[in-house]
Amino acid sequence: MKRWIPLAIIFLAGCAAIVAVQWKHISARPSAQAILSAGADAQHELTRVPAHFNRMSDADEIAAGNALADSYSTRWRLTSDNDRAEQAYIRSVGTVVAIHARRKLPWQFHYIPDRSFVNAFALPGGHVFVGRGLIELMHSEDALAAVIGHEIEHVDLRHCAERAQTEAELRNLGPLGTLAGIPIEVFIAGYSKDQELEADRDGTTLAVQAGYSPAGILQLFDEFQKLEQGDAPRRDPHSPVGESAQLSLQTLSGYFQSHPPSAERAEQIRNLMLTAHWPTPPLHPLQHS
């Protein structure tokens, strides 16, 4: 009889996860995409259950993140003075934004000097990576601050730690020291819709608290929406930014599949601007080395 108790607990936890996800999505319009998103989120919520019973300590999370960052470090190298200048710039913006994070972690910010990497991601313990391709779609430093804030929140809200624990369990990796065996794609992939929207809300809040305008991330969402719709950016295709935008039409497909629609993300931020009475100071120019 006792052997059925763990199965019963898992079953009830799964039911609770599905109910919670459906409740969060109750205002969504009925559609095939909404059904698929709800199902995917329910599955994700179920896989999160084991992590809640044995939350990783901050010290273990930092150690795991450092091990993962070291294992990924050979993939992208800074080979020029421009790369190192971009790295320093991202660190300066990230440091200002991270001051307002709830968790006081040893935040570290990394630049990926690859134009085809149109994304950003975070690792447990406070590592944040931003790709060159994503930066070249931005209009302002305010957008960069909000993107960094978004990734900080995936760490701050323990999304990354839960992902690492879940993957370690699924892959039978054993002690935390072996977490470096988790493929980087696990962290590049997005989280559930609700977690992504939560990271948008709290991440943009961090940027606003640091003195940035929420209009910056709205401009980036506008760029995303054009690409989602297959519209070619109205820029010189021979310029570095134009070339990056053209390349993004191909490389951003995975990003869009793992994140909520840009229009929905923008609507959430606009609503927050009204309800939270966020200031909209002039945009800070984006610094390119």
Higher-confidence residue of 31 and 218: namely: 218
**Placement of tokens 């977490």 in the chain:** 179
What is the reported pLDDT for 239? 44
133 has pLDDT over 60: yes
The answer to whether 273 touches 214, Cβ cutoff 8 Å, is: yes
What is the reported pLDDT for 190? 85
Using 50, 70 and 90 to split pLDDT, how confident is the model at 167? confident
94 has pLDDT over 60: yes
Phi-psi sector, 288: left (phi>0), alpha (psi -120 to 50), beta: beta
The pLDDT tens digits of the residues spanning 175-192 come to 555 677 788 888 998 899
Query: Which of 44-48, 95-99, 167-171 has the lowest average pLDDT?
Result: 44-48
What is the reported pLDDT for 128? 98
Kindly state the tokens that stand for 12.
């009830």
* Burial call 101-135: b when 16+ CB within 10 Å, e when fewer: beeebebbbbbbbebebbbbbbbbbbbbbbbbbbb
**Considering the entire predicted model, what is its pTM?**
0.77
Using 50, 70 and 90 to split pLDDT, how confident is the model at 231? low
The pLDDT tens digits of the residues spanning 243-266 come to 444 544 455 556 666 678 999 999
What is the reported pLDDT for 182? 86
Counting residues of the chain whose pLDDT is more than 70, the rounded percentage is: 69
